[in-house]
């Protein structure tokens, strides 16, 4: 079995979820690496989009900003933020990736603040940026994150970006577009989806080296489990080689 | 409330925070009625523009995307002249927010993305400033602020959209839910955002303010229309003949523009597409200086208060030699 670190595993797993011909809005860092890896393996025609306006660039290196010149290097279009967001709102964008300080059992994400008083936050983060927009308007939202019981919590301080809100049909009832929502949560330990009815987070497969107990112990709420729990296939030699040599040769992301 | 809403028992929610600017479309029309459309030369200086076009208490917006195609000289001068109590559109703001926070220039902020510098990390000083409670905050998102600016550019008072409903981002915004009069679909309604002042950095423009921009345009075409007073800083001036030869390329037209400033390397230390890459070393120096208020004070003294203008800042940061280096990185001639 090839030797790899948790970040490499998460990027490889995320890449496998991006099929050829799909559209995906990514940020900097791991999601961008996953999209580049997908493009260089099974999805040569994956359309990568950036929220400042870049569409289908040939990325010469990892962008530092979702608006820097790499995000539209030899692109098919250098457009605008409204153009990207309206394309999402029109239902033309399949995937997006989000990050955050907290996530709850319905896939709601906090990237705004820790504390109880919005006007005087204990810890302030950047806020939504485009995260809420993408979580609201893209068909499927994914998250890549290291898993621990503080980050995976049933006491989320602030819902910056919508998951399934209060579960069940509440996301649609709130007014968000039908058929959208969190799709996969990819952690260092496992891959989760969401229960069809309750929309509660559900473990689908466990990553090599971890147990069912590890996955539950590092989650602040009770996880649901799929009827059959698969073993996550580890990164292949090809995936690792392309990731290390072509996607992130300077180890900006996979070296973290 | 309509009969339909009562029948379906739909509760229409409102965000709890304040709209900092007047969204009224007729008030905007009255203002724009008086705005000059004359095709006249508008060359000015950073010092004069900030002195005469920004009043303490105004609501301002900065074009570009944080550390990409930003009018850095204007941000510096706002701090140098000690402008206070500004409102700020924290829309895709990063290094611009960092500069204005170092000057504690604003006291209210529409937030989409603040404090952070994307992959570079968070600004310790901007974070202290926001966590201090000195700044009144209303939450939004990147798309929401883009659309609020678009609504103003269209001469409207609001725009409906399908994002943010059901979240705390909505709760702490100033949005309101409405129903579509045609389909009954629930929407979030966002108030139009007409800033008092906007500064936008472009690649080329003529003396009248007809602009060319290359690369991602972010929200700048709408921002130029939405803002009451607009200054363009430009990498270089071009003749009006160059504009007339390709009228379809005019990114912002003269009638939106009140002043034009020639500002080569004007987005430094940010990236300017096809011209120069961001100066990551200098941006790291900013972040490091912010670790505590004392070191930030020294840093600001050296780079902002101790320099007379943006040219002096560029020289202090390595001058032409540094700019050439950043150009080689941008053009992929040199690897970083």
Residue B73, phi-psi category: left (phi > 0), alpha (psi -120 to 50), beta (remainder): alpha
Mean pLDDT, range A14-36, rounded to an integer: 96
* Count of the separate structural domains present in chain A: 1
Write the CATH number for A97: 3.40.1080.10
Contact (CB, 8 A) for B52 and B77? no
Is A253 inside a domain boundary? no
Cβ contact (<8 Å) for A72 and B216?
A: yes
Is B291 inside a domain boundary? yes
Mean pLDDT, range B93-118, rounded to an integer: 97
Percentage of residues in chain B having pLDDT higher than 90: 95
Closest CB from A71, A124, A177 relative to B162? A177
Cβ contact (<8 Å) for A82 and B177?
A: no
Percentage of residues in chain A having pLDDT higher than 70: 99
Is B9 inside a domain boundary? no
State the greatest distance between any 2 C-alpha atoms of chain B, in Å, as a whole number.
70
Phi, psi for A246 (deg, rounded to 5): -110, -35
A49 touches chain B (CB under 8 A): no
From A8, A19, A51, A222, the catalytic residue? A51
A54 touches chain B (CB under 8 A): yes
The yes-or-no answer on residue A51 being catalytic is yes
Is A211 inside a domain boundary? yes
Is B2 inside a domain boundary? no
Query: Cβ contacts (< 8 Å) between B68 and chain A: which residues?
Result: 52, 65, 67-69
Q: What rounded mean pLDDT belongs to chain B?
A: 96
Is A157 inside a domain boundary? yes
Mean pLDDT, range B114-118, rounded to an integer: 94
Query: Cβ contacts (< 8 Å) between A89 and chain B: which residues?
Result: 143, 161-163
Mean pLDDT, range B210-237, rounded to an integer: 98
Mean pLDDT, range A177-196, rounded to an integer: 98
Cβ contact (<8 Å) for A69 and B118?
A: no
pLDDT at residue B144, rounded to an integer: 98
pLDDT at residue A256, rounded to an integer: 80
Query: Cβ contacts (< 8 Å) between A60 and chain B: which residues?
Result: 332
Report cis status (omega within 30 of 0) of the bond before B269. yes
Tell if the pTM clears 0.90, that is, is over it: yes
End-to-end CA distance of chain B: 60
Is B103 inside a domain boundary? yes
Is A31 inside a domain boundary? yes
pLDDT at residue B5, rounded to an integer: 55
Cβ contact (<8 Å) for A127 and B120?
A: no
Cβ contact (<8 Å) for A174 and B332?
A: no
Alpha-carbon distance B281 to nearest alpha carbon in chain A (angstroms): 13
- Quote ipTM for the complex: 0.97
Closest to B240 in 3D by CA, of B209, B200, B214: B209
pLDDT confidence tier of residue B92, bands split at 50, 70 and 90:
confident
The residue among A27, A29, A79, A124 with the most chain B CBs within 10 A of its CB, best to mutate, is A124
Report whether pLDDT(B242) > 50.
yes
Report the DSSP beta bridge partners of residue A103: A109, A152
Domain of B203 in residue numbering reads as 40-158+195-330
Is A29 inside a domain boundary? yes
End-to-end CA distance of chain A: 22
Collapsing DSSP to helix, strand or coil, B103 comes out as coil
Spatial neighbors of B67 by CB under 8 A, at least 6 apart, are A65, A68, B94, B95, B96, B117, B118, B269, B270, B271, B278, B283
Alpha-carbon distance A183 to nearest alpha carbon in chain B (angstroms): 18
* Count of the separate structural domains present in chain B: 1
Mean pLDDT, range A219-228, rounded to an integer: 98
Is A38 inside a domain boundary? yes
Query: How far is CA A36 from its chain centroid?
Result: 14
Percentage of residues in chain B having pLDDT higher than 70: 97
Is A254 inside a domain boundary? no
- What distance in Å separates the CA atoms of residue A250 and residue A157, rounded to the nearest whole number? 36
Q: What rounded mean pLDDT belongs to chain A?
A: 96
pLDDT at residue A105, rounded to an integer: 98
Cβ contact (<8 Å) for B169 and A165?
A: no
A251 touches chain B (CB under 8 A): no
Query: Cβ contacts (< 8 Å) between A118 and chain B: which residues?
Result: 137, 139, 172
Instruction: Name the one residue in this structure whose structure tokens are 């896939």.
Output: A107
Report whether pLDDT(B3) > 70.
no
pLDDT tens digits, one per residue of A53-93: 999 999 999 999 999 999 999 999 999 999 999 999 999 99
Is B28 inside a domain boundary? no
pLDDT tens digits, one per residue of A132-142: 999 999 999 99
Is B47 inside a domain boundary? yes
Query: Cβ contacts (< 8 Å) between B118 and chain A: which residues?
Result: 27-28, 64-66
pLDDT confidence tier of residue B197, bands split at 50, 70 and 90:
very high
Report whether pLDDT(B335) > 80.
no
Nearest residue in chain B measured CA to CA from A158: B168
Report whether pLDDT(B1) > 70.
no
Alpha-carbon distance B197 to nearest alpha carbon in chain A (angstroms): 20
Query: How far is CA A143 from its chain centroid?
Result: 3
Mean pLDDT, range A212-223, rounded to an integer: 98
Is A136 inside a domain boundary? yes
Domain of A26 in residue numbering reads as 6-247
pLDDT tens digits, one per residue of A145-175: 999 999 999 999 999 999 999 999 999 999 9
Mean pLDDT, range B113-140, rounded to an integer: 95
What Rg value do the Cα atoms of chain A yield, rounded? 18
Is B184 inside a domain boundary? no
Write the CATH number for B52: 3.40.1080.10
The residue among A98, A126, A252 with the most chain B CBs within 10 A of its CB, best to mutate, is A126
pLDDT confidence tier of residue B213, bands split at 50, 70 and 90:
very high
Contact (CB, 8 A) for B157 and B131? no
């Amino acid at each position: 079995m090839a030797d790899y670190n948790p970040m490499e595993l998460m990027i490889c797993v995320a890449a496998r979820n991006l099929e050829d011909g799909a559209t995906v809005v990514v940020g900097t860092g791991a999601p961008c690496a996953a999209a580049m890896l997908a493009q260089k393996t099974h999805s040569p025609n994956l359309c990568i989009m950036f929220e400042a306006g870049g569409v289908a660039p040939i990325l010469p290196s990892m962008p530092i900003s979702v608006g820097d010149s790499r995000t539209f290097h030899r692109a098919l279009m250098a457009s605008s933020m409204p153009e990207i967001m309206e394309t999402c709102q029109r239902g033309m964008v399949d995937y997006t990736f989000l990050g955050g300080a907290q996530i709850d059992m319905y896939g709601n994400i906090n990237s705004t603040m820790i504390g109880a008083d919005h006007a005087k936050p204990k810890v302030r983060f950047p806020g939504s940026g485009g995260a809420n927009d993408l979580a609201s308007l893209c068909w499927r939202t994914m998250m890549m994150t290291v898993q621990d019981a503080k980050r995976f919590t049933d006491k989320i301080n602030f819902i910056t970006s919508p998951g399934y809100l209060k579960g069940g049909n509440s996301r649609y009832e709130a007014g968000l577009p039908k058929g959208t929502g969190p799709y996969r949560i990819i952690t260092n330990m496992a891959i989760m989806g969401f229960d069809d009815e309750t929309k509660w987070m559900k473990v689908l497969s466990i990553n090599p080296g971890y147990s069912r107990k590890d996955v539950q112990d590092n989650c602040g709420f009770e996880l649901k489990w799929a009827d059959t729990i698969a073993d996550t296939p580890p990164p292949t030699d090809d995936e690792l080689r392309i990731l290390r040599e072509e996607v992130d040769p300077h180890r900006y992301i996979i070296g973290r | 409330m309509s009969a339909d809403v009562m029948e379906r028992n739909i509760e229409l929610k409102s965000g709890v925070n304040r709209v900092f600017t007047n969204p009224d479309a007729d008030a905007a029309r009255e203002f724009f009625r008086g705005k000059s459309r004359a095709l006249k030369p508008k060359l000015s200086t950073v010092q004069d523009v900030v002195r005469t076009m920004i009043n303490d208490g105004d609501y301002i917006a900065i074009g570009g995307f944080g550390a990409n195609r930003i009018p850095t000289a204007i941000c510096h001068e706002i701090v140098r002249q000690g402008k206070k109590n500004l409102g700020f559109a924290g829309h895709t703001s990063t290094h611009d927010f960092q500069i204005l926070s170092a000057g504690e220039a604003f006291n209210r902020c529409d937030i989409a993305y603040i404090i952070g510098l994307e992959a570079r990390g968070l600004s310790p000083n901007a974070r202290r400033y926001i966590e201090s409670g000195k700044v009144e905050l209303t939450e939004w998102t990147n798309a929401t602020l883009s659309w609020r600016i678009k609504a103003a550019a269209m001469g409207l008072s609001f725009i409906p959209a399908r994002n943010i409903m059901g979240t705390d981002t909505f709760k702490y915004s100033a949005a309101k839910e409405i129903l579509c009069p045609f389909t009954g679909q629930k929407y979030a309604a966002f108030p139009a955002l007409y800033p008092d002042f906007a500064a936008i950095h472009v690649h080329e423009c003529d003396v009248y303010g007809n602009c060319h921009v290359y690369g991602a345009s972010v929200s700048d075409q709408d921002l130029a229309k939405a803002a009451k007073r607009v200054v363009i800083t430009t990498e270089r001036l071009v003749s009006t003949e160059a504009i007339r030869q390709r009228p379809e390329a005019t990114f912002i037209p003269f009638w939106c523009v009140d002043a034009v400033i020639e500002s080569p390397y004007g987005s430094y230390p940010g990236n300017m597409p096809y011209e120069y890459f961001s100066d990551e070393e200098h941006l790291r120096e900013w972040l490091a200086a912010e670790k505590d208020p004392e070191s930030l004070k020294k840093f600001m003294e050296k780079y902002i208060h101790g320099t007379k203008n943006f040219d002096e800042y560029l020289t202090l940061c390595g001058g032409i030699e540094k700019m050439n280096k950043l150009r080689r990185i941008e053009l992929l001639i040199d690897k970083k």
